[in-house]
Amino acid sequence: MPLTPGTRLGPYDIVSAIGAGGMGEVYRARDTRLDRVVAVKVLPSGLTRDPLALERFAREARAIASVNHPHICTIYDVGEHDGSPYLVMEWIDGETLHARLDQKPQTVEQLVEWGLQLAGALEAAHARGIVHRDLKPANIVVSARGDLKVLDFGVAKLVDDQAAVATTMPALTDAGSAIGTAAYMAPEQVRGEPVDQRADLFALGLVLYEIATGRRAFSGTTTGVVADAILNRAPTPVQTFNPGLSQPVAAILDKLLEKDRELRYRNAADVRADLKRALREVGVAAPSTPGRTAAVSAATVQTSVAVLPFRNLTADADNAFFSDGITEDLIDALGRIAGPGRSWKAACGARARGSASAPLSWTPLPVFRFGPRGTIARWRTCSRSRTKSCRRSSRRSRPRCSAGQSRPSAVRPTISRRTSAI
């Protein structure tokens, strides 16, 4: 019987029901000892006499407790209420990935960011010898900050005896049984064969496919139709539904969805490495922090501004200082926009005055300017006036600053005239 608000489970007060599934009922509750919101999962009363259900419930608690990763839900406590076991987990303020997608494809940046998070979570679980076996959008929560958290290890499986010793969990998988959700099963799961971590990687490919396209890779009106598609049919190419997806990322999804597990990725670490490599190839900076993954955005690409020299179009050569002064004032103004501790560098070539120059970039380097007939003069801040603005009285005179100090004359650069930047 479902719990009602106000029911007390040890130190936990039930606030409201969140949802229910075949392996448990989930409630929002308050920890009266630490005054924090938690999620409580209770085994339904109808399963309290089922030894297999009890063992799976306990196994989930031990599986979550054995893995410490920022993208796997954290367990706080376990207990029992009126003969029904319960486990207490962190409360995640957000929604399931299934609800977030709602048939809407995500950007390639979001796809890769979430892919890195999920691959990292699987890598941590696989390192403990745990195969999730039921990775799907409904078992993944998107937090308010946009991070993913993997839930529901109720049907997790141990890969080998060494992991069983490390986690004190017995392996309960029966040969020939298909465990998981049909639409997110690997072909070997559908056939009831023994599975390893590569089954989770196939499910990861299915989840990323759904993130990229807003639709499932394999669908059908019955479980049998879905199973046949997984075993015998290739999914529609992901770029058909999302033409903006880069080829390197599409290739990663194709490899994750290989029906022959020998051709599939062998571990989640390789998936993470390829995702980072794909980001580099498309020119977007990859997040390097293993915990909270930094937002990946094309806005991180550096922008540049070009300042071209002004030409003296009059017949009087003595007016040349006007063109120099305007260019200098403009560079000074841009330098103030750059903010404290930053200056501008003119990346210019050995070209004649008045020709096109390379762009300016946000770089904490000295400022250069064009001199006459392809020369380049280096600017130095006047120690007395603290200004970079100097004026040239004529093309043949030595530049002086407002404080009266001489400035270095223009010097012929040693770089080739074909070089576009210093």
Active centre residues (catalytic): 134
| Residues 6+ positions from 299 with CB-CB distance below 8 Å | none
Q: How far apart are CA 267 and CA 197, in angstroms?
A: 7
Place of tokens 């009922």: 25
| Residues 6+ positions from 9 with CB-CB distance below 8 Å | 3, 29, 40, 42, 79, 81, 86
CA distance to 207, 347, 350, per residue, from 365 (Å) = 46, 10, 19
235 in Cβ contact with 253 (< 8 Å): no
Q: Count CA atoms within 13 Å of residue 119 on its CB side.
A: 25
The secondary structure of the chain in percent helix, strand, coil, rounded to multiples of 5, reads 35, 20, 50
310 in Cβ contact with 326 (< 8 Å): yes
Q: How far apart are CA 13 and CA 264, in angstroms?
A: 46
199 in Cβ contact with 131 (< 8 Å): yes
Q: How far apart are CA 195 and CA 303, in angstroms?
A: 49
Residue 79, Cβ density class (10 Å: 0-12 exposed, 13-18 middle, ≥19 buried): middle
Q: How far apart are CA 197 and CA 134, in angstroms?
A: 12
φ/ψ of 129, rounded to 5, equals 75, 20
What's the start-to-end Cα distance of the chain, in Å? Answer: 76
Q: How far apart are CA 415 and CA 413, in angstroms?
A: 6
Helices then strands, each counted (H, E), the chain: 11, 18
334 in Cβ contact with 305 (< 8 Å): yes
Q: Packing angle between helix 197-213 and helix 268-281, nearest 10 degrees?
A: 30
Q: How far apart are CA 234 and CA 229, in angstroms?
A: 7
